Amino acid sequence: MAMFSLAIRARAKANPLLTRRALHFRNFCNGRFGLSTSESDPPDRPVAGTKFLESFKEEFEIGSRVISLETGKIARFANGAVVLGMEETKVLSTVAAAKGDADRDFLPLTVDYQEKQFAQGLIPNTFMRREGAPKERELLCGRLIDRPIRPLFPAGFYHEIQVMASVLSSDGKQDPDVLAANATSAALMLSDIPWGGPIGVVRMGRICGQFIVNPTMDELSLSDLNLVYACTRDKTLMIDVQAREITEKDLEAGLRLAHPEAVKYLEPQIRLAAKAGKQKKEYKLSMVSEQIFEKVRNLAEAPIDAVFTDPSYGKFERGEALEKIAQDVKSALEEECDEQSLKVLPKVVDTVRKKVVRKRIISEGFRLDGRHLDEVRPIYCEAGHLPILHGSALFNRGDTQVLCTVTLGAPQDAQRLDSLVGPPTKRFMLHYSFPPFCINEIGKRAGLNRREVGHGTLAEKALLAVLPPEDDFPYTVRINSEVMASDGSTSMATVCGGSMALMDAGIPLREHVAGVSVGLVTDVDPETGEITDYRILTDILGLEDHLGDMDFKIAGTRNGVTAIQLDIKPAGIPLDIICESLEPARKGRLQILDHMEQEISVPRNQDYRNSPRLVTLKFSNDAIRRFIGPLGALKRKVEEETGARISVGDGTITIAAKNQAVMEKVQDKVDFIVGREIVVGGIYKGIVMSIKEYGAFVEFNGGQQGLLHISELSHEPVSRVSDVVSVGQQISLMCIGQDVRGNIKLSRKATLPRPESETKSVVEGSAPVTKEKPNIWASPENMSKGEQLESTLEELVPSKMENTESNRSASLMPSVVIRSAAECDEEEKSAGLSKTSKSAPKPKGTLKKGSKQKKIQSSDNMPDLSLSIMLSESLSQMGGNKEFTSQDEGEANLSDQNDKETGGKTPVTPQKLKLGTKVTAKIYQIRARGLVLDLGGGIRGMYKFEPNGEREFTVGDELLVQCSSFTSKGIPVMSMVDEE
C-alpha cells in the first residue's frame, strides 16, 4: 500500500490533474455534478453513486424585463419546485401533496409565503434574532397566491396540498408577491398534482395616464393605480386593485391591457413542464354519483324551493328552516339504511340548494329576500355613535352591521414594517375584527386571522386614497372595525363606516368612500363548460355569496374607484362579464353615498375636550438635549407622567396628547425644563427653592431663578413667607419686571383673584395700580356681547403709571381703572405725548357729530379701534386740569338728588361715581354691541345694547343714564333711565 501511495505521488508531481482523476473525485462539467471515470476504465464498469444534477431553465421578457424560470438545481425532493427571477430578485416556490386517501369534503389547500431578512442582507431585529410569526404582509401575499390557484383544482380533489413560497434574494426594486404567484403556478405544472393551469399574474401601474407593466417600487410610488391581474388563457381568475379614484372607463382599459401581458407567462411554464414535469398522478376524487344526487334532490328540492321563495325569512330563520329540511332527509335515508348517501348528505344538500337558488335568479330575476337584481338593501347610518371617542360611526346595510372607531395618535405611533420592499412605516391602519357572536356561533380568538387581515387591508386601501397628505395631517390614524352582525359584505360595510368615522374625527377627507359587493350567477353548458346565461347581483347576501360564482368587491368615491378585490369559485370568468359588473357597482355605490352624506357630509370641528392635540415646538438643539436628559430619561419621565407621546427632531419637539388638558400639562413641563422667552406679564410655573425673611427664591423656566418678594405673595398682609409657601412647592407666578441688574421679580398675588373688598375700594376710593393679566385672544364666537364691548373699552380708557423709582426700572403692565382728566394729564406729561392740537383726528369707524342717524344692529362689521389712536385722542380731548360740567362744552352732567333740589352742578370725579348715580352722558362712539359714553371729567363708561332691541343713536347725543355696575377692571357699566 505504501508503494502504491508513493507511485501516485510521483505521478502527481509530473501531472497534478492525474490525482483527482485517479482517485475518482467529483468533477464539474456543463453545470452537472457527478463521478467521472478514467479513460483506462472499461466502459461497462458500473460506478457506485452515479447521479447527475440536471437543471432546466426558461427565459422570456415581459414589460421590458427579463424573467427566468429554473428547476432541478435546488429543492429536488419537492413534488414541484421552481425558482423565478427578475433582475436580482429571486423567489422559490415549492408544492407538496399529502399521501393516502382524502376522507373529507373540502380542499385543504395551505399557502405559506415568507420573507426572511437574509434576502436583503440583514439580521432580524428581534430578541431571538430570527423570524417569528407571519407578518400581515406575508399573510396577504399568501392570499394573493391562494385566490387564483384554488379554483383550478378538479372537483372532488380533497387531498391536502401545501404551497411554500420564500424570497431567496431581493434587490428592493420589484415586489416579490407577483413573482411568487407565477412561480407557484410553474411548480404546480411540474408536479404530479392534477391542476387546471397554468396561470399568469401581472402587475400594472399608471403614471401620467400611461400604463406600465411590472412597475418597480419607485414607479408604484408615483402611480395612481396598483393592479394585480391573474388569468388563464381566456378567463379572469383574480383582480386586486388599489387606486386613487380611477374611473371605471380607465380601469376597464387597464384590465384589457393586463390580460394579454399576463398570458405571456403561460407558454414558458408549458415548455418547462414539457422538459422537467412529472406525469400527473391518478388521485382519488370524492365524487357524488348521479343516483345519490337524484335521490336526495327528490327529497329536498321542493321544501328548499319553498323556503327560498318566501322573502319573509331572515338569515337565521332561513338557516333553521334549511337545517330542518336536511334533518328530514337524513331521517328518511336512515330508514332506508342508505349509508353511502348519508356520507355525502351535507354536500349533496348544499348542491341542491345551489341549483334551486341559481335557477330562480336566472329564470325569474328574483333573489332570496325578494329584492330586484340591482337593488341595495335598506341603509342606516349614525355618525358619532360613541361621543367620547375621537371618531365613531355605526353602519347598517340590511342585516349587516359594523361599528367603526377612529383613534388619532402621534407620528411615532405609526406601525413599523419589516418587509423587504415598500415604506418602513405605515401611519394609517385599519384593523378588522370578525367575532363569532356576529353569526351566532362559538369560537376562540387567537392570533392573526388570514380572512380578517385580508378584509381589513381591502378597506384600508379603499380609504387611503382620500386621506390628507402627511404634511397637512401628521397624525397616525387607526380605525377599528368591529363586525356586530354579518350577512354579506362586511368588508364593504367597513369602508362605509370607516369613512364616516374619519369625518366624525375631524379628519379632512376629500370625499366619502363607499363600497358594495357584486355577485354573479351563471348557467353553464355541462358538455362544453361555456356560460350560456348569467345574472349580475348588486349587494349580495352571505348565502348568495356562498351559492354564487363571484364576489366582486368594489369601493370608491363619486369620482372613481379606490379599491377592488375579486374572488371567484369556477375556473375563470370571461373578462367581458367582469367589466360589465363595474356599472351596477357604481350605481349601488352612489346610492350608499347619498345616505352617508345625509348623515355627515363634512368633517366635524374638533374643539371639544376629548379631541387629540398635536403641537410642534421649535427649540435650539442645546435646549432639546436638556429636555431629553441622560439616555432619554427625562423625556420618558414626562411621557409616563402625562401619558402623551413626544418625538424629537432636528430643532423640533412634537407633542401628541389625547386631549387639551394633557397637552397643557405637557407644555408646562416642557417650558419648565427647556424654558421660554421671559415676557413681563407672562405666567409661569416654578418650584420654591429657598425661603428668606424678605421672600422666596423660585426656579422656573428651565432653571432660571427669580425673587418672589413677601409683598407679592398675597393680596392679604403676610407676616412670614413660610405661612404661604414651602420649599419644593410648585406655584404659578407672573413676571412683573426686572431690576437694573437683570434680576427677575415675580408675583404670586398677580395670578390670584382680587378680594371683593379690594375691588370695591377701587371704585369707591382711590385707584391703586395693579398688574394686568396678559391679553388672551378669543374668537368672536366664544365671547359674549358684554365681553367684546368690555375689551373694547379697556383699549379706550388710558392707563396710569406709578410715579415710583421701581416703575421707571421695570416694565410693568398696569391695569385699566377709572381716572380723572388731571391724572391722565400727568401721565401724558410723563410719557412725553404731544398735545399740539386741541382736538385729535377722528378714529376710523366713528361717526361725526351731527351726521345722519344710523340704525344700530347686532353685528361684528364695525372695525376695532387702534389703542394708540384712541389713547392720543382721549388725552388730547381732555386738554388740561379743568373740571367739566354740563354747561361747559356739553360734556357729562353728573347730578344726584341734592343737585336736583338746589339746581347746582357738581363736577365729575371718580370718588363721586357710585352705584345708582345718575348722569347725563354723551355718546362718544357707536360699537357693534353697545355704546361708549363720555361721562365727563375724562371718565368713560359703556352701555350694552339690550337683546333684540333696536334704536337709532348718533354720536354726540345726550342720554340720561345711571351707574348699574362696574367691570372687574373698574369700568362703569351704565343703564338707560326713562325720562319722565
Per residue in 639-663, pLDDT (tens digit) is 898 888 888 878 888 888 878 888 8
Domains of the chain: total: 6
Distance of CA 702 to the CA centre of its chain: 35
Q: Please check whether residues 424 and 543 belong to one and the same domain.
A: yes
Cell of 934: 363720555
Structure confidence at residue 750 (pLDDT): 86
Q: Which residue has the cell 359587493?
A: 517
Provide the CATH number for the domain around residue 68. 3.30.230.70
Write down which residue in 696, 723, 751 finishes a domain: 751
- Grouping H, G, I as helix, E, B as strand and the rest as coil, residue 302 is helix
Q: Clarify whether residues 454 and 589 are in a common domain.
A: yes
The answer to whether position 13 is within a domain reads no
In a domain, 354, yes or no: yes
End-to-end CA distance of the chain: 147
CB count within 10 Å of CB 499 equals: 31
Least confident of 496-505, 634-643, 969-978: 969-978
pLDDT of residue 528: 82
pLDDT > 70? residue 1: no
Domain assignment of residue 329, yes or no: yes
Do residues 249 and 333 share a domain? no
Give the span between the Cα atoms of 572 and 570, in whole angstroms.
Answer: 6
Considering the domain architecture, whether residues 266 and 295 belong to the same structural domain is answered as no
The sign one gets for the Cα dihedral 685, 689, 691, 697 is negative
pLDDT tens, position by position, 849-882: 333 333 333 333 333 333 333 333 333 343 333 3
Q: Which of 95-109, 135-149, 772-786, 945-959 has the highest mean pLDDT?
A: 135-149
The domain boundary residue, chosen from 249, 276, 303? 276
At residue 909 the predicted structure's pLDDT band, cuts being 50, 70 and 90, is low
170 occurs within a structural domain: yes
Please give the pLDDT value at position 762: 42
User: What CATH code is carried by the domain that includes residue 334?
Assistant: 1.10.10.400
Pairing of strands 550-556, 561-568: antiparallel
- Which range (394-408, 563-577, 719-733) has the least confidence? 719-733
**What's CA 956's distance to the chain center, in Å?**
59
Question: Which of these, 729, 753, 617, 600, lies nearest to 675 by C-alpha position?
Answer: 617
User: What distances in angstroms separate CA 587 from CA 220, 512, 557, 594, one per listed residue?
Assistant: 29, 15, 11, 11
Distance CA 176, CA 188 (A): 18
Q: Is the pLDDT of residue 202 over 60?
A: yes
Residues 755-767: tens digit of each pLDDT: 765 544 444 433 3
* Same domain as 626, residue 583: no
pLDDT for 757: 53
> Looking at the predicted structure, is the pLDDT value of residue 102 above 90?
no
| Residues 670, 687 share a domain | no
- pTM of the prediction? 0.67
In the block, cell 395618535 appears at 409
Nearest to 152 by CA among 196, 184, 192: 196
In which band, very low, low, confident or very high, does the pLDDT at 52 lie, cut at 50, 70 and 90?
low
Domain range holding 650? Answer: 613-674
486 and 586 housed in the same domain = yes
Span of 300-309, 448-457, 804-813 with lowest mean pLDDT:
804-813
Say yes or no: 512 and 634 in one domain.
Answer: no
On whether both 504 and 356 belong to a single domain, the answer is no
pLDDT of residue 189: 96
List, as one string, the DSSP characters of 690-737.
Answer: EE-SSEEEEEETTTEEEEEEGGGS-SS--S-GGGT--TT-EEEEEEEE
Strand partners, 121: none
Stretch 618-642: mean pLDDT: 86
Are the C-beta atoms of 584 and 550 separated by less than 8 Å?
A: no
Q: How far apart are CA 488 and CA 397, in angstroms?
A: 9
Say which residues have a Cβ less than 8 Å from residue 662's Cβ, sequence separation at least 6: 613, 642, 643, 644
pLDDT confidence tier of residue 290, bands split at 50, 70 and 90: confident
Confidence (pLDDT) at 979: 58
Q: Give how far the C-alpha of residue 585 lies from the chain's centroid of Cα atoms, to the nearest Å.
A: 26
What's the confidence (pLDDT) of residue 259? 96
Across 302-311, average pLDDT: 86
pLDDT at res. 307: 87
The whole-angstrom separation of Cα 421 and Cα 179 is 13
Q: What is the pLDDT of residue 915?
A: 74
The amino acid at 308: F
Residue 877 belongs to some domain of the structure: no
Torsion of CA 807, 811, 812, 813, to 10 degrees: 140
7 contact partners, CB below 8 Å, separation of at least 6:
none
- Do 311 and 453 lie in a common domain? no
pLDDT band at residue 282 under the 50/70/90 scheme: confident
325-376 confidence digits (pLDDT tens): 989 888 888 888 888 888 888 888 888 888 888 888 998 888 888 888 999 9
Q: What percent of the chain has pLDDT over 90?
A: 35
The top-scoring range by mean pLDDT among 389-403, 797-811, 838-852, 952-966 is 389-403
Structural domain contains residue 129: yes
Distance CA 480, CA 497 (A): 10
Condensed to tens digits (0 to 9), the pLDDT of residues 118-129 reads 998 889 888 888
pLDDT at 589: 95
Indicate if the pLDDT at residue 634 is higher than 60. yes
Residue at grid coordinates 357693534: 928
Q: What is the CATH number of the domain that holds 959?
A: 2.40.50.140
Residue 504 and residue 405 share a domain: yes
The predicted structure's pLDDT at residue 538: 94
Per-residue pLDDT, 144 = 95
Using one digit for the tens of pLDDT, what is the confidence trace for 939-976? 778 888 776 655 677 888 888 888 877 765 567 788 88
pLDDT digits (tens, 9 = 90+) for 415-435: 888 888 888 889 999 999 999
- Higher per-residue confidence, 41 vs 189: 189
For residues 468-482, average pLDDT: 90
- Same domain, yes or no: 400 and 498: yes
**Residue 629: what pLDDT?**
85
Q: Tell me what the mean pLDDT of segment 301-319 comes to.
A: 85
CATH number at residue 630: 3.30.1370.10
pLDDT greater than 90 at residue 10: no
* Mean pLDDT, rounded, for 244-258: 95
Average pLDDT, the chain: 78
Query: Distance between CA atoms of 150 and 160, rounded to whole angstroms?
Result: 12
Cis amide bond preceding 468, omega within 30:
no
Give 768 or 638, the one with higher predicted confidence. 638
Helices (H) and strands (E) in the chain, counts: 25, 39
Q: pLDDT-based confidence at 808, cuts 50/70/90?
A: very low
Of 728, 751, 774, the domain-final residue: 751
Which grid coordinates belong to 13?
A: 508531481
In a domain, 893, yes or no: no
Contact predicate 462/513, CB 8 Å: yes
Helix/strand/coil percent split, the chain, to 5: 35, 25, 40
**DSSP states of 631-700:** GGHHHHHHHHHH--EEEE-SSEEEEEESSHHHHHHHHHHHHHHH-----TT-EEEEEEEEE-SSEEEEEE
The pLDDT value recorded for residue 910 is: 58
pLDDT number for residue 231: 96
Q: Please indicate, yes or no, if residue 865 is contained in any of the structural domains.
A: no
